[in-house]
C-alpha cells in the first residue's frame, strides 16, 4: 500500500525538526486526518505548541501553508485511502444518516427505475465486484436470489473472468459494483462489456464511466472517518430488491415459499 505523501514528508524531515515540531509530527503521524479537521490553532492546542510553531512545521515539510497540506491530504483520502483519526462517536450516527439522505436526494429516479425493470426482465443477472465491492455484490446477489432465479456472482474465488464473460448473452443484465480504489482490470472490463446491458453501482468517482453503462447508481461513502461507510449502498440495495419483489409479485412469492420449504426439509436454519 502506498504511503500517504504527508507522512513521507514527515519521515524525510523528522531528524531536522525541533523538539516542538517533533511533537506535532508525532501527533499528525498518528492522526493525519487532524490536518483536515483541525485548524492551526487546534493542532497547536492538541500538541501543546504554538500557532507559529505549527505554521512553521508545515513550511518545513515543503508546503506553503497548512491549507496546501490539507488540499493534498484531502485528495488522497478522497481516493479511499484509510487513515486513523480520533473517534468521535457522538456524530457518527448522524453522519451515517446524512450519507444515506444525500445518496437518495441525488439519485436519478429514472436510472433507478430502469435498473429495477432490467432486474425483473433479464434472463440472467451477473454481479461483479472486486476488493471491498465484492461483499456488497455478494449481499446484492443473496437478496435477489431469494426472489428470482439465475443470479450469479463473479469472480469466483481462485477463478479468472474470461470464461464467464464469454457466455454473457444479449438479454442478460450485468451489474458492476465498483467503489473507489478499483483494481486496474475495471476499466478494460467495462470496455469489453460496453455492448451488453450494464449497470454500475459506485461512489462519485465512478461517474467517469457514465457513458459506458445503461444505469449509474451513485452512493456516498463519506471520507471523514478512517474507513469507508457502506450504509448508503446497503440502503440502495435494500430498496431495489424490495421494489423488484413487489414487481415480480406472485412469482417472487412462490419462489420464497419454495425456498422456505427447502429450509424446513434440510433443517438449515435455527428455530
Q: What is the pLDDT of residues 25-80, one digit of tens each?
A: 888 877 777 888 889 999 999 999 999 999 999 999 999 999 999 888 877 776 66
pLDDT tens figures, 144-179: 998 888 999 998 887 777 777 788 888 899 999 998
CATH number at 125 reads 3.40.50.10490
Residues 47, 136, single domain; the answer is no
Residues 18, 147, single domain; the answer is no
CATH number at 11 reads 1.10.10.10
Query: 32, 53, 86 — which closes off a domain?
Result: 86
Looking at per-residue pLDDT, the higher value among 201 and 104 belongs to 201
**What torsion do the CA atoms of 22, 25, 30, 36 make, to the nearest 10 degrees?**
150
Residues 209, 137, single domain; the answer is yes
Question: Residue 154: inside a domain, yes or no?
Answer: yes
pLDDT greater than 60 at residue 118: yes
Question: Residue 271: inside a domain, yes or no?
Answer: no
Range of the domain at 37: 5-86
Peptide bond into 115 cis (omega under 30): no
Mean of all residue pLDDT scores within the chain: 84
Residues 20, 82, single domain; the answer is yes
> 226-238 burial string, b = 16+ CB within 10 Å, else e?
bebbbbbbbbbbe
Question: Residue 128: inside a domain, yes or no?
Answer: yes
Residues 102, 51, single domain; the answer is no
Write the DSSP string, 133-202: HHHHHHHHHHHHHTTSS-EEEESPTT--SHHHHTT--TT-EEEEEE-SS--TTHHHHHHHHTTSEEEEEE
Percent of all residues in the chain with a pLDDT value above 90, rounded to a whole number: 31
Residues 45, 122, single domain; the answer is no
Residues 121, 13, single domain; the answer is no
pLDDT tens figures, 220-231: 887 666 677 888
Percent of all residues in the chain with a pLDDT value above 70, rounded to a whole number: 92
Residues 41, 115, single domain; the answer is no
pLDDT tens figures, 105-114: 778 888 899 9
Residues 128, 257, single domain; the answer is yes
Q: Which helix (H) or strand (E) holds 127?
A: strand 125-129
Residues 183, 106, single domain; the answer is yes
Q: How far is CA 163 from CA 121, 160, 166, 168, in A?
A: 24, 7, 5, 10
Q: What is the pLDDT of residue 117?
A: 93
- 53: Cβ contacts below 8 Å, ≥ 6 apart: 18, 20, 21, 24, 44
Looking at per-residue pLDDT, the higher value among 7 and 117 belongs to 117
- Give the count of domains, the chain: 2
∠ CA 108-113-117, rounded to 5° = 150
Looking at per-residue pLDDT, the higher value among 96 and 136 belongs to 136
Strand order in the sheet with 173-178: 151-154, 125-129, 173-178, 197-202, 215-218
Residues 58, 152, single domain; the answer is no
Query: 53, 86, 119 — which closes off a domain?
Result: 86
Question: Residue 109: inside a domain, yes or no?
Answer: yes
| Report field, pTM of the whole predicted structure over 0.85 | no
Question: Residue 77: inside a domain, yes or no?
Answer: yes
Per-residue pLDDT band at 15 (split at 50, 70, 90): confident
Q: What is the pLDDT of residue 83?
A: 57
The residue to which cell 425483473 is assigned: 120
Residue 267 cell numbers, joined:
433443517
Per-residue pLDDT band at 143 (split at 50, 70, 90): very high
- 191: Cβ contacts below 8 Å, ≥ 6 apart: 212
Query: 34, 54, 86 — which closes off a domain?
Result: 86
Pick from 212, 245, 217: which is nearest to 233 by CA? Answer: 217
pLDDT greater than 70 at residue 90: no
Residues 177, 96, single domain; the answer is yes
> 99-132 burial string, b = 16+ CB within 10 Å, else e?
bbeebbeebeeebbeebbebbbebebbbbbbbeb
Mean pLDDT, range 203-210, rounded to an integer: 81
User: Which of 67-76, 79-88, 126-135 is predicted with the least confidence, judged by mean pLDDT?
Assistant: 79-88
Per-residue pLDDT band at 1 (split at 50, 70, 90): very low
Strands 151-154 and 215-218: unpaired
Looking at per-residue pLDDT, the higher value among 41 and 3 belongs to 41
Amino acid at each position: 500500500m502506498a504511503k500517504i505523501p504527508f507522512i513521507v514528508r514527515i519521515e524525510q524531515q523528522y531528524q531536522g525538526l525541533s523538539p516542538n515540531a517533533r511533537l506535532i509530527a508525532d501527533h499528525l503521524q498518528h492522526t493525519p486526518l487532524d490536518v483536515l479537521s483541525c485548524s492551526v490553532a487546534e493542532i497547536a492546542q492538541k500538541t501543546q505548541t504554538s500557532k507559529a510553531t505549527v505554521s512553521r512545521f508545515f513550511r518545513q515539510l515543503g508546503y506553503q501553508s497548512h491549507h496546501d497540506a490539507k488540499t493534498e491530504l484531502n485528495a488522497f483520502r478522497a481516493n479511499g485511502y484509510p487513515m486513523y483519526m480520533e473517534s468521535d462517536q457522538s456524530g457518527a450516527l448522524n453522519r451515517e444518516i446524512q450519507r444515506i439522505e444525500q445518496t437518495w436526494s441525488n439519485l436519478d429516479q429514472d436510472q433507478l427505475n430502469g435498473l429495477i425493470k432490467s432486474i425483473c426482465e433479464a434472463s440472467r443477472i451477473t454481479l461483479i465486484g472486486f476488493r471491498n465491492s465484492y461483499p456488497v455484490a455478494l449481499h446484492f446477489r443473496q437478496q435477489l436470489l431469494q426472489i428470482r432465479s439465475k443470479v450469479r456472482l463473479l469472480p469466483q474465488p481462485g477463478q479468472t473472468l474470461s470464461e464467464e464473460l464469454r457466455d454473457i448473452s444479449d438479454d442478460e443484465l450485468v451489474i458492476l459494483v465498483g467503489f473507489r480504489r478499483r483494481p486496474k482490470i475495471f476499466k478494460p472490463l467495462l470496455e469489453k462489456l460496453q455492448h451488453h446491458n450494464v449497470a454500475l453501482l459506485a461512489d462519485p468517482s465512478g461517474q467517469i464511466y457514465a457513458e459506458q453503462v445503461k444505469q449509474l447508481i451513485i452512493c456516498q461513502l463519506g471520507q471523514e472517518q478512517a474507513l469507508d461507510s457502506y450504509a448508503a449502498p446497503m440502503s440502495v440495495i435494500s430498496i431495489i430488491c424490495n421494489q423488484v419483489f413487489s414487481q415480480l409479485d406472485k412469482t417472487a412469492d412462490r419462489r420464497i415459499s419454495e425456498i422456505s420449504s427447502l429450509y424446513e426439509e434440510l433443517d438449515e436454519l435455527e428455530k
